Amino acid sequence: MSYAQTEMKVVQWGEARGIVQNSNPKAQAKKTAEELQELFDAIEANDKEAMIDAYGDILVTLVMGCATADLDLVTCFNHAYDQIKDRKGYLTPEGIFVKES
């Protein structure tokens, strides 16, 4: 299944459960933060299955956040890519990319 097909299924799932109609971007951002903590915990435990679950759950909350804001996650993703595609910088020994000013 393509990303777009999965995204549409997630939106339909959210609509069927009243999330899209009754939630809001702030509530979904809070849910994303909770899922991010689960990801940090999974990474710390080196638990690949929990990481897969957390990354997936984060994507679901991002899709729901966009849907409650009448946005499309792919549009947001493309916008971010357009912002970073020509960015220059370096990678620290800790694996963090630092952009040039």
Q: Could you read off the pLDDT of 53-72 as tens digits, one per residue?
A: 999 999 999 999 999 999 99
Contact 75, 56 (CB under 8 A): no
* DSSP letters spanning 50-100: HHHHHHHHHHHHHHHHHHHTT--HHHHHHHHHHHHTT--EEE-TTS-EEE-
**How sure is the predictor about 101, in pLDDT bands with cuts at 50, 70 and 90?**
confident
pTM across the whole model: 0.88
Calculate mean pLDDT across residues 65-81. Answer: 95
